[in-house]
Amino acid sequence: MANLERFREMTEEHSLVADFLMVYIAEAHPTDGWALRDNIAIAKHRTLEERFTAAQMLEVESLKCRVVVDRLEDEASNAYGALPERLFIILDGVVVYKGEQGPTGYKLSEVDDWLTNKKLEMK
């Protein structure tokens, strides 16, 4: 959540170079689990509908990208090693940037740099 505003800004800055997609996965800090103070109050998802509701809370934060929801079996999260968060850049079906797992490996600056360089190449 701490990086959400910067992510939103980055989606606006690079909207001509990239399409952004956020996959909402299992809540990393549910209120009925390892909760953080001052975090959005979201309990562990027990149904897909609960996960959809939680994802909609992100859209309320005015994200400028599409938000999709992982299944309760966490297939996308497991396939991409995404818990609690991770950044990827996929170009023509190929992963060209694979960030480390968050929170310490979640480096928006690396994605921003890659997209900035791509924008310069296009000029």
User: pTM value?
Assistant: 0.80
Domain carrying residue 114? 4-122
User: What pLDDT is attached to residue 36?
Assistant: 58
DSSP state of 25: -
- Tell me which of 84 and 18 has the higher pLDDT: 18
Cis status, amide bond into 30, omega within 30 of 0: no
| 38-54 mean pLDDT | 80
Domain tally, the chain? 1
Amino acid at 48: L
Three-point CA angle 58, 64, 67, nearest 5°: 50
> Which among 26-35, 49-58, 79-88 has the top mean pLDDT?
79-88
Q: Which CATH number characterizes residue 82's domain?
A: 3.40.30.10
Q: Tell me: the pLDDT tens digits for 77-121?
A: 999 998 888 999 999 999 999 999 988 889 999 999 999 999 898
| 15-31 mean pLDDT | 83
Q: What are phi and psi of 90, to 5 degrees?
A: -120, 125
Asked whether the beta carbons of 28 and 85 are under 8 A apart, the reply is yes
Q: How far apart are CA 55 and CA 29, in angstroms?
A: 14
Asked whether the beta carbons of 63 and 7 are under 8 A apart, the reply is yes
pLDDT band at 19 (very low <50, low <70, confident <90, very high): very high
